[in-house]
Structure 1
């Protein structure tokens, strides 16, 4: 990727409010977006709580729509010394 290419979902200058208006809340992407507004979630949390078989596809669709989502490492809740990754919405304002 060249230095001048934009990376959706990573803080570029897209209008997030327009992107949000395009997301159908009844789709997997819409359900993930609503959940991420409440709290960061890992793949397994999305799978269990939202009954979505492949969360990365929904996150990919949101990023392509211009929604700012980052993946951050967190301590594993039950395995000391290990990490899990959670999706976070980038602040929209």
Structure 2
């Protein structure tokens, strides 16, 4: 996967999720969770996760969805495998 240009990397807080897909205008798509985002920024890493990321593009908008991939009881920590999904 191609990474962000060096100039853009300087703006990252270290909590940036760079997505695999680019927008229809060929721009990099990423979520800077210190500045915006949802409760998904609190997901923890696990090798055997109970949620996964899925990208959805609708015209010029790209959304990152978090979907449960296992049964999850109330109060259970939500986990995702960062390795290959972002």
The interval holding the TM-score normalised by the smaller chain is under 0.3
TM-score, length of structure 1 as denominator length: 0.21
TM-score, length of structure 2 as denominator length: 0.22
Instruction: Select the structure that is richer in helix.
Output: 1
Instruction: Select the structure that is richer in strand.
Output: 2
